[in-house]
Amino acid sequence: MVTNTRRAARRHHEPDVVELNPVFARPGEATEIPKFRLPDEEALPATAYQIVHDEAMLDGNARLNLATFVGTWMDEHASRLYLEAADKNMIDKDEYPQTAAVETRCWTMLAELWHAPDPEHTIGTSTIGSSEAAMLGGLALKRRWQHARQAAGKPTDRPNLVLSSAVQVCWEKFCNYFEVEARYVPISWEHKVLDGYDLESYVDENTIGVVAIMGVTYTGMYEPVAEIAAALDRIQEATGLDVPIHVDGASGGMVAPFVQPDLAWDFRVPRVVSINTSGHKYGLVYPGLGWVVWRDLESLPDDLIFRVSYLGGDMPTFALNFSRPGAQVLLQYYLFIRLGRAGYTAVQQTSHDVALYLSGEIAKMPAFELWNDGSDIPVFAWRLREGHTSNWNLYHLSDRLRTKGWLVPAYPMPVDLTDVTVQRIVVRNGFSHDLASAFLADLRDEVDYLDALTGPMPAEGQRSGFHH
C-alpha cells in the first residue's frame, strides 16, 4: 500500500518534497521537507503540525462515506476521554489495572448480551478489531480440534475450516497464516448466504469448525446460524462428527441484539462456541477495537493463554499483539453506560429505518434491482437491472457520485458470481433521513445523466473499490 502510493507519486512526477506554505514558514526554517526520507533537521512543532494537518485534510469527508462500516464520529465527552487515555497500554495490566477491569466488564456485558450460559464465568478479550478477534477464535477452534484428535490417536496435520465464499478477508488470512485449509461454500442466487445447504460435502473429520457471518460484508445479510447448526446436527447424527460454530458478528453482533432481539444467532444456539464483533463498527467506537467472547472456559483451550503480571498476581491474556492502545476500551465502556440497551436500540433502529427507506426508494428506480434490502444489518446492495442499459455500469455511477462527494463502491461478488457487479450502502449512525434524501436526489440526477447518454461510457481503467 505504502510502496504503491510512492510508486504512483513517482509515476505522476509528484515532487519528493512537501513544500511549506510561506504563511507558515518561520524565518530560518527549511521551506521544503522530504516526503520519503527522514529529514536531516528538526522542524518547529507548529510547522510539523500544520503539515500533517494539511495532509490529513485531503482525506475524504467521512460523513459522505457510505462505504465504510467503521465509526467516524463520537461525541465531545468521548473525545475528551480519548485524549485523557491516549497513553494507556492495554497489555500493561499492572500499571493500568482499572483499564484492565473495565475491559473485563465490557466483554462480560457482551457475553450477557449474547446469552452466554454463565457470563461471569466465561472468557473474552478486547482486540484491535474483528480481524484479530477472528484469528483468536480460529486458533481456539484449531487447538480444540488438535487436542481431540491427539486424544483419539489421530493425525492433526490437515485441519480445514468451512466458510462462505463471501467471508471477509480476515478469514482468508487466518487460513493462510495458521495453515488451515479454507473450504469455501460458494454463494449463488439460490443460496445468497451460507445456509447449511450441501454442508455435508464440505465437513469431514478434519473440520475444525464452521464460520457463520452475522452481516456478510458484501451485502449485509445475516447467515442463518440456527439453520447451519441444524445442518451440523444432521451431520453429527449421520457421522458422529461434532463440529462447532464460530459466529463472525463483526457488524451484526452489535445490531441483532437490539434490532432483532428474538433472533437466536448467538450462544442460544448450543453449537456456537465463540463470537467476535468490531467495537469500531456498530459498537460505535473510533477505529482500533474488536471483541471476542467464548461460550465457556472449556471452549478456549488453556494452553493458548499466557499470564501477565497484574498487581502481584497474574492475569490471563490471549492476543496476537503485545502493546496496544487501551483508550478504545474505555471509549466502549463509556458508550455502554452512556447508551445502555435503550440507547443502542434507538441508534441502531434509526440506521435500520434509514436503510429500509433508502433501499425502498432505490428499488423503485427502473435502473436497479436490489440484492437485499438492509433489513438485517442496515447495509444493502443492488445491481443494474438486466437489459436496462449497455451505455453505463455501476462503476460509472460510482464515479459520478464521487464527484458529488459520495463514496458508494461498486464491486464484483465473490467466486462463482463474479459476473455480478453490485453497489453497496452502509448506513451508520449519523447518516440521517435528511442526508439520505440528499443522497437520493444526487443518485437520481446521476442516473438521469447516464441514462441520457447517446453512446456508451468508456470502460477503460475501471477498478472496483471494495471497502470493508
Q: Which residues on neighbouring strands pair with residue 207, listed in sequence order?
A: 160
Binding to ligand PLP by residue 467, rule CB under 6 A? no
Cβ proximity to ligand PLP, 60 vs 117, nearer residue: 60
Cβ proximity to ligand PLP, 212 vs 232, nearer residue: 212
Q: Whole-angstrom Cα distance, residue 32 to residue 47? A: 11
Cell digits for 335? 458508550
Cβ proximity to ligand PLP, 20 vs 422, nearer residue: 422
DSSP 8-state code for residue 150: H
Q: Whole-angstrom Cα distance, residue 335 to residue 77? A: 10
CB-based contacts of 75: which residues, under 8 Å, 6+ apart?
none
Cβ proximity to ligand PLP, 251 vs 260, nearer residue: 251
From 17-25, 223-231, 243-251, 396-404, give the range in contact with ligand PLP by CB under 6 A.
243-251
Among 103, 195, 223, 248, binds ligand PLP (CB under 6 A): 248
Where are the strands (E) in 124-231, listed by range? 124-127, 160-164, 181-185, 207-213
Cβ proximity to ligand PLP, 168 vs 206, nearer residue: 168
- Amino acid making up residue 224: P
Give me the least distance between CB of 343 and ligand PLP, in Å please. 22
Give me the least distance between CB of 295 and ligand PLP, in Å please. 19
One-character DSSP codes across 82-108:
HHHTTT-BTT-TTT-HHHHHHHHHHHH
Binding to ligand PLP by residue 135, rule CB under 6 A? no
Instruction: Give which of 61, 25, 1 is closest to 430, Cα–Cα.
Output: 61
Among 250, 362, 367, 401, binds ligand PLP (CB under 6 A): 250
Binding to ligand PLP by residue 69, rule CB under 6 A? yes
Where are the strands (E) in 4-52, listed by range? 17-19, 32-34
Give me the least distance between CB of 357 and ligand PLP, in Å please. 23
* Cβ atoms 248, 272 nearer than 8 A: no
Cβ proximity to ligand PLP, 217 vs 332, nearer residue: 217
Binding to ligand PLP by residue 268, rule CB under 6 A? no
Binding to ligand PLP by residue 274, rule CB under 6 A? no
Q: Where do contacts with ligand PLP occur on this chain (CB under 6 A)? A: 69, 129-131, 134, 168, 170, 213, 215, 217, 248, 250-251, 278, 290, 468
